[in-house]
Amino acid sequence: MSTGKKSPAAIDAAELPALRRRITPVLIAGQILGGLGVATGVALASVLAQQVSGSEALSGLAPTAMVAGTALLSVPLAALMTARGRRPGLVLAYVIGATGAAIVVLAAALGNFPLLLLGMAGFGAASSANLQSRFAAADLAEPDRRARAISLVVWATTIGAVLGPNIAAPAGRSASRLGIPETAGPFLWAGGVFLISALVVALLLRPDPLLTARALAPAGEDTKEGRSLRAGVRAVRESPRAQLALATIVVAHTAMVSIMSMTPLALSHHGAGIELIGLVISGHIAGMYAFSPVMGWLADRLGRLSVIGLAMGLLACATLLAGTAGASHSRTAAGLFLLGLGWSAGLVSGSALLTDSVPGPARAAVQGLSDLTMNAAAGIGGAAAGLIVSRTSYGWLNAVGACLLLPLATLIVYRALTRSREDTRAAASGGGDPARPDTSDAPAVPDPAGSATTD
């Protein structure tokens, strides 16, 4: 019987089921804590930025700095994971996040806006850890259950993420008793939570899932050259499926971050207090995470492309509802819930398709590239969101978000038509089953553990 201290090289394929059962709860625990910390801080980020800067136009820079930090740190963290495994990368990310939270609190106390942005960038490292954890769940998953493995870890964030905005008020009150601005209190609590997350991962995520997957890979498949960022870029460039997956993740995340980051400010303009804002953001986060197992199941059963199409439909409905809500808090809440649901569908199906579509050695580099791209795009979107709202309105911001979906919708239709023609040719030649569900997005490369693919 294997133990938690067994080295990756000593694991054999027969021990994989037990290893998955041991690693998954650790990833879930880390996600719960990490989600709690991130959501607690994000709930009031734009409000805190407005208070410190004194400018509504600059309020969007706080969540933007966080997203930028997530993007900038994703590549070095992915490089660290590529070289030494998931565990050291996740631990370092949570420690940097805790340090960033402390800097945010200091900046709020001093009224220093540039220092606040620096702290928010460091705070974003914790978000990078949460995002990378979904790929850690996929390292040892069977190809035909990969989306469900990803979605389970994404789902775990629900517990902490829904609770986070609702403890913002007590966190703020506790901080005010210490002479810290009330809106900085959530960041004080978040820093402590991130340190606990780092401790959980450091002690319990053993053996490392990525290193174990490499140890189980066929001889000669895994090389140092194949793990480089350049190899990751090449793998995406050579795979149309990987390009579609990356586009899905980027568009869904950019639309979600841009609209969500300005929603607390829009609600406050219509008389919403901190408790109501927390409830609306909690509903949004529930949409992001609570239904991810359903999205994973659908992606494995119906195909990644079908769920990507669902994501675009949900995001379009979200922008329509939120953009026309005006002073209706319930309509805004419904739009934000659908926004989270669309993000969940896009992230789970896109992440599974991306992992399916590239060779095993390049996966960690491609996954880091994915997080860099999605967060860089979302950072630009978040910065633009503040300017759009200050010069026009929250409704126009949602209209711009809807426009982001059009190019991806076109790409999805093109991919579906291409697959349809391929199926017709295959059926005519006797080499395909026209009744088979859409598997244009099914795994195309071997599982690191040597499992059979669904192709």
**Three-state SS at 193:** helix
Of 124-128, 229-233, 320-324, which range is least confident?
A: 229-233
Q: How would you write 26-65 as a 3-class SS string?
A: HHHHHHHHHHHHHHHHHCCHHHHHHHHHCCCCCCCHHHHH
Distance (Å) of CA 378 to CA 1, 146, 147, 351: 45, 26, 23, 17
* Bond preceding residue 25 cis, omega within 30 of 0: no
pTM assigned to the model: 0.76
Q: Which residues contact 18 (CB under 8 A, 6 or more apart)?
A: 1, 2
Q: Which pLDDT does position 270 carry in this prediction?
A: 79
Q: Which pLDDT does position 295 carry in this prediction?
A: 95
Rounded Cα distance, 316 and 320, in Å: 6
> pLDDT grade, residue 438 (50/70/90)?
very low
What is the arithmetic mean of pLDDT over 191-217? 90
Distance (Å) of CA 409 to CA 126, 301, 402: 31, 21, 11
Q: Which pLDDT does position 340 carry in this prediction?
A: 94
Higher pLDDT, 355 or 218: 355
Which class for 101: exposed (0-12), middle (13-18), buried (19 or more C-beta within 10 A)? buried
Rounded Cα distance, 173 and 134, in Å: 34
What is the arithmetic mean of pLDDT over 112-139? 91
Burial track 208-236 (b if 16+ CB lie within 10 A, e otherwise): bbbbbbbbbbeeeebeeebbbbebbebbb
C-beta of residue 287 within 8 angstroms of C-beta of residue 340: yes
Helices first, then strands: H and E counts in the chain = 17, 0
Q: Which pLDDT does position 265 carry in this prediction?
A: 82
% pLDDT > 70, the chain? 86
- 9-55 pLDDT, tens digit each: 556 667 778 888 888 899 999 989 988 888 788 777 878 888 888 87
Cβ count near 17 (within 10 Å): 11
